[in-house]
Amino acid sequence: MTPATTVLLQRLHEQSQTEVIARARAQFHGSNEEFLTLADEYETLAPRLRGRFLETLGLSSEDFESSQGTPLSLAVSAETGRFLGNLVLSHKPARILELGSSCGVSTLYFAEALRTLGSGRVVATEVDAVKCAQLRSHIRTAGVDAYVDLREGDVFQTVSALDGTFDLVFIDVWANTYLNLFKQIERLLRPGSIVLADNMYTAEDAVQPYKHYLDDHPRFSTTTLDFESGIEFTVVVS
């Protein structure tokens, strides 16, 4: 990873964390002392318990996304980003589909790994015009324009216009749309394709239809990886 991209990603991770903490504090009905105590408690929890913990406070990642005001960047964690990059380096996908790119943090991890390999393309999708503008700026700063194909607009419409197959898919949109969206992309998958879905812990109830569909379908082999937000790791078997 180039020094410029490293600095950019560090800034974006810090920005995302600051935004989430500020939004959580704004939605929390209590004193600063109570909020700080709960924040410390949250940090000690196992990843799979964190979504439930937020729910007990009346908070969730869905709440953060749907709140009024400036949209949050909601970047993947640095740990998740490194995993995405390493997966690309090992799997060597020619085509990556990213459903819900936000301001492009995960996009940068994908694109940097593709640059290291010297080939490949990530189709990044995002509906928010402001985030798309930020994403374009970030990929220019990182110098990975050649590895990113940004599709701005409704993700369902974008997917309906795609053809061919994808070797790797990353889903990080509204959690309650996962199953419907996945059914639309099934035609784009081949045996050996990998599908990753974020927020299996932080939006546990909303993603249950998606999880059950994968568990019950013989075409897919799936397991949940214990990252902070919970990532469903699915391999297309047939």
26-35, 62-71, 115-124: the lowest-pLDDT one: 62-71
The pLDDT of residue 50: 67
| Residue 116 to residue 8: CA distance in whole angstroms | 18
- Average confidence (pLDDT) over 15-31: 80
pLDDT grade for 66, boundaries at 50, 70 and 90: very low
65 or 199, higher pLDDT: 199
pLDDT grade for 38, boundaries at 50, 70 and 90: confident
Q: Indicate the burial class of 123 (C-beta count within 10 angstroms; 0-12, 13-18, 19 or more).
A: buried
pLDDT grade for 179, boundaries at 50, 70 and 90: very high
For residue 24, pLDDT beyond 90: no
Mean pLDDT of the residues in the chain: 89
pLDDT grade for 68, boundaries at 50, 70 and 90: very low
3-state secondary structure 60-101: CHHHHHHCCCCCCCCCCCHHHHHHHHHHHHHHCCCEEEEECC
For residue 150, pLDDT beyond 80: yes
18-22, 62-66, 230-234: the lowest-pLDDT one: 62-66
Segment 182-228, tens digit of pLDDT: 999 999 999 999 999 999 988 888 999 999 999 999 999 999 999 87
For residue 57, pLDDT beyond 90: no
Q: Which fold has domain 78-236?
A: Rossmann fold (3.40.50)
Of the chain, the percentage scoring pLDDT greater than 70 comes to 89
Give the predicted TM-score (pTM) of the model: 0.88
Domain boundaries, the chain: 3-66, 78-236
66 or 96, higher pLDDT: 96
> Quick one: which of 234, 184, 193 has its CA closest to 212?
234
| Residue 225 to residue 119: CA distance in whole angstroms | 27
The pLDDT of residue 44: 82
